[in-house]
Structure 1
Amino acid sequence: MSNIIRPYGDTTGDGMVQLSFTLPIPHDKRSEGAAAQLAGKMGLDPVMVVHASQIGTSHTFFVVYGKANHLVNLDDVNVVERDYPLLTSKEVNSLVKERLGRKLVVVGACIGTDAHTVGIDAILNIKGFAGEKGLEYYRELKVLNLGAQVAVPDLVNRAIAEKADAVLVSQVVTQRDAHLHNTRELSAAFREALSPQDRPLLIIGGPRFDETMADELGVDQIFSRGTTPADVASYITHRLVSSKELVS
């Protein structure tokens, strides 16, 4: 099987793609021409404007459909693969109890001005996500969900006070790269407050994060779309218990 692929639209390898975007102009024939020209400069040829809808008085949302001539080499694709076993809640509880001898402390929050708690609640709250119970369900984990709009210094102080083993931060707001700025502020604050051996695991989650940026942002792990409580619990257990990096 070839590792060189093209997009699929009507027939295999025809290169057809659908693309949506917004332009800051009212909807008319000229705006549709501008949308087609933009798509052409992106490499779509031929291209069709298949949908246009005015937003307010001065913006238009477009959907275009066209042929991309670019090829993708699967050998050059760089992603973060899960390198630890996916554990059940029973397995996590058993490992923590047998090897750690105390409850593993997890502190979670949304930092900065981010008020979207859906992500952090899905991972931490007992009701969970996608049919999985959240970390509050794990009897050997002590979970503290600090909620939304938590200042970074307050999160650091609370993590230290609780002797947190892991800190989970969810970031949904991404305007002007707020999620990246907040994450860098978080990692810098923990580096300043604690030595590397005393610092808790820093785990960041959100739909717009690039999972390959963990080192660049100064955190231990980034989780993006589709993450479940089991993913996070298994990672924490692997890093802090299974690999024996934590000393009780």
Structure 2
Amino acid sequence: MTGSIVRPYGDTTGDGMVQLSFTLPVPHDKRAEGAALQLARKMGLEPALLVHAKAMGPDFTFFVVYGSVTHLVDLDEVQVIEREYPLLSAKDANTAIRKLLRRKLVVVGACIGTDAHTVGIDAILNIKGFAGEKGLEYYREIKVVNLGAQVLVPDLVARARAEKADAVLVSQVVTQKDAHIHNTTQMSAAFREAYPAGQVPILVVGGPRFEEGSAATLGVDRIFGRGTTPGEVASYLVHEIATRKGRS
């Protein structure tokens, strides 16, 4: 393909080949495999090839199908959220925090609800960090309070108030039945109820299943997805603090 129009690439350029995996609530047999191919064809894969099928207990089957799609992608219509702030080194972030606040920036982090997956929040907060970057604990001008996993929203709000938190970082990995959406909206509503208008801490959520542009809908200030580094988060917090002080 040329210009801004592209197709998926499998074996040769522009052949439209894609691989798709899914589970159907049927026992593994020939009928189940036929159902998987029917679904693939209805999704636009033609011809569709079944490359893997495995029983998931007595009543479910996991499939991988491979096939060519006719759909085209127009790159000119792709919308992304660009980072609107510069990435700062730890030294520059510390200097900016000291200049803006004249005290340490207080960050409270947690996994809320039933979510026990702390790898993401630990990668941002713990000194060992992620992707070669030290976590926020490494920053001299940041005080980190990591509450860990399965923290109830009222407890998070209470601890944030007790610590006089400037920012609250929440990680949500569990997404069954949109648990991450429900937990986040509950959390943001609780903070707005507990704080006077204009005094709510910076609310940041992260996780692999959040839509990047849904921060306003969820009532938070920022959403970070997979691959986010501690430096990106620290740089954003500095930017948001400076923005808020400018408004005030």
Q: TM-score range by the shorter chain?
A: over 0.9
Distance 1:95 1:104 in 2: 11
Q: Distance between the aligned counterparts of 1:247 and 1:129, measured in 2?
A: 33
Once the two structures are TM-superposed, the CA of residue 24 in structure 1 deviates from its matched residue by 1.6
Map residues 93-108 of structure 1 onto 2, 5 A cutoff.
93-108=94-109
Counterpart in the other structure of 2:116: 115
Offset from partner CA, 1:32-89 (integer Å, 9 cap, x none): 1111000001111111101111222222111101111111111221222211111111
- Once the two structures are TM-superposed, the CA of residue 195 in structure 1 deviates from its matched residue by 2.5
Deviations 1:215-245 (A, max 9, x none): 100000000111111110110011113x362
Q: 2:85 corresponds to which residue?
A: 84
Secondary structure, aligned partner of 2:63: strand
Q: Which residue type is aligned with residue 28 of structure 1?
A: D
C-alpha change, 1:103 and 1:246, in structure 2 (3 Å) is farther
Q: 1:194-233 residue pairs with structure 2 within 5 A?
A: 194-233=195-234
Which residue of structure 1 lines up, in the alignment, with residue 155 of structure 2?
Answer: 154
> Structure 2: how far apart are the matches of 1:8 and 1:153?
48
TM-score normalised by structure 2 residue count? 0.96
Provide the rounded CA distance (Å) in 1 between the counterparts of 2:247 and 2:200.
Answer: 12
CA 1:246–1:189: 2 relative to 1, 3 Å: farther
Distance 1:244-1:202 versus aligned 2 partners, 3 A rule:
closer
Distance 1:245 1:2 in 2: 44
- Structure 1: runs of 5+ lacking an equivalent: none
Deviation >4 Å, runs of 4+ = none
Q: Which residue of 2 aligns with 1:245?
A: 245
**Aligned-partner residue type, residue 174 of structure 1:** T
List gaps (5 residues or longer) in structure 2: none
State the Cα distance separating 1:190 from its structure 2 match: 1.0
Counterpart residue number, 2:139: 138
CA offsets per residue over residues 136-165 of structure 1, 9 Å max, x none?
000100110011111111111111111111
Deviations 1:80-100 (A, max 9, x none): 221111111111111111232
AA at the equivalent of 1:188: A
Q: Which residue of 2 aligns with 1:234?
A: 235
Q: What is the aligned length? A: 247
Q: Residue 180 of structure 2 aligns to which amino acid in structure 1? A: H
Distance 1:191-1:244 versus aligned 2 partners, 3 A rule: closer
- 1:183 paired with 2:184, answer yes
Q: Sequence identity, in percent?
A: 70
What's the TM-score once normalised by structure 1's chain length? Answer: 0.96
Partners of 2:136 and 2:119 in 1: CA distance: 14
